[in-house]
Amino acid sequence: MKRGGKSLFFDKKGGLFSKKDSYSSDSEKSSNGKLVATLIILILVAGGGWFLFKGFYSSDAGALARENVANAFSGISEWVGTSIEESTTSLEYVGSGDLFGRKTNSESKTKGIILEDLNPIGYSSQVGYPAGYDFQLYYDIEFQNIEDYVLETEFECFLNDSTDQESLEEAIEGEIKPSYEVSLTEGTQVSCNIDGTDTESLDGAYTITGWLEFDFATEEVKLPVYVISGELADDLDRRNVDFFDDQDLDVSRGDLEPLYNGEPMSIGMGVFGEGDQQPLIVRTGDSFNTIGFTLRNEWDGDIVNIENLYLSLPDDIQLDEGLNDLPSLGCPFEEVGGFRNTIEYSMAEDFKDLVFIKDEYGKINFPISFQCWLNVDYDILGTQAYDNVEIMAEIEYRYRSTEVEKSIIIKGEGESLIETNNEESFFE
């Protein structure tokens, strides 16, 4: 983060240098005569040049020159306008919040539940379902690396027109069995049931659309942070030596990002102070350090609600109450206590709808970034050259899967439920 300051100039001996004092009064006097003579010559040249220019301007050559200049300036104007527009777009992107990093765990896999398909029961594409009779489709749900989880899940399904049919007045809502809300475990059977009374007048090809929502959490997202004193930082700067090389630490920049383990949401984090990367520098006077967060939707579905966002800091590092004006849009946390040498924060309830704004479809658009000032106690180092601490974050949310569609045929009253070999199937 850049901090404003005055521009100072110094002479070779280190003294403050003033531009006004750099000229002697003698040199000013000697230059006055030269200045007057120069002005007289310029006036004479300008007068003669005007008459020459006037004649040229009214000539055919002058007209051609004027046209060329106009075309040139038109091109420049168009280029400048385009450049300004591109620059503004870039600034708007940067202004929307810096993106703080996360590293995908190479050993991780998708973590959550996936809606794979809707499977119709007792159905044949050559026969279809008879109008006026109930039918069911089962949700094909796959648990991914959460075998022991119990997830609070909601289901919905609707029968809609296919594109070649006249429009229904409204979609027909299916009934979810055993219940609209299910404490879902691996192997639980859930079905979409279409009531026969809703299909009595139907005939043709239709589409069943279904989806699910479940509560989930991205937990124990850890950011390793190295902290050094201002004295050590100055010494490293004088020697032009990297901190990690100086301390023989086998740490890459990728090691200083939190791991993403395959959940629907990820949390990116980073700490910043005098530089744009670690280590974090603390001094006996004021130290201006920050921590940044970027929340991302990593899956193809939608995040429809954020239940809470938690932050755990070592007790020698706090969110600065004064600089952050907690809670605020820039740093929407409030302190909720401490646990085992940590200070715990959670997102303030009043700021959830302000930070996580939903669109007309009820989904939250990501990524979302914000940044908080840190107050780092200088005593965090004790007598050590550096300290290595850990910052942890968690987020609880509701995820909505992408919609799954299944095409079916409903045979109207009076039609045979067995198709002849000459009839074209709706399915390949």
Mean pLDDT of the chain: 79
217-397 and 112-214+403-411 share a CATH fold: yes
Output the pLDDT for position 129: 96
Domain boundaries, the chain: 112-214+403-411, 217-397
Cα angle 234, 240, 245; round to 5: 95
As given in the structure block, the two tokens for residue 407 are: 């095409």
Output the pLDDT for position 415: 55
Instruction: State how beta strands 280-282 and 317-319 pair.
Output: unpaired
Output the pLDDT for position 132: 96
Output the pLDDT for position 91: 24
Looking up tokens 């594109």, which residue turns up?
Answer: 163
Q: From the CB of residue 132, how many other CB atoms can be counted at a distance below 10 Å?
A: 17
What whole-number distance in Å separates Cα of residue 13 and Cα of residue 23? 18
Output the pLDDT for position 148: 84
- Phi/psi of residue 384, each to 5°? -85, 155
| Full-model pTM | 0.73
Question: Is it true that domain 112-214+403-411 has CATH number 2.60.40.10?
Answer: yes
Per-residue pLDDT of 152-192, as tens digits, reads: 999 999 999 875 555 577 899 999 999 999 999 999 999 99
Low-confidence ranges of the chain (pLDDT < 70): 1-98, 163-167, 414-428
Output the pLDDT for position 261: 95
Question: Given its phi and psi angles, is residue 275 left (phi above 0), alpha (psi -120 to 50 degrees) or beta?
Answer: beta
As given in the structure block, the two tokens for residue 203 are: 């005939």
Instruction: Please answer whether residues 296 and 367 qualify as being in contact, where contact means their C-beta atoms are separated by less than 8 angstroms.
Output: yes
First to last CA, the chain: 60
> What type of residue is 180?
Y
Question: Is it true that domain 217-397 has CATH number 1.10.287?
Answer: no
Per-residue pLDDT of 48-81, as tens digits, reads: 454 444 454 444 445 444 444 444 434 433 433 4
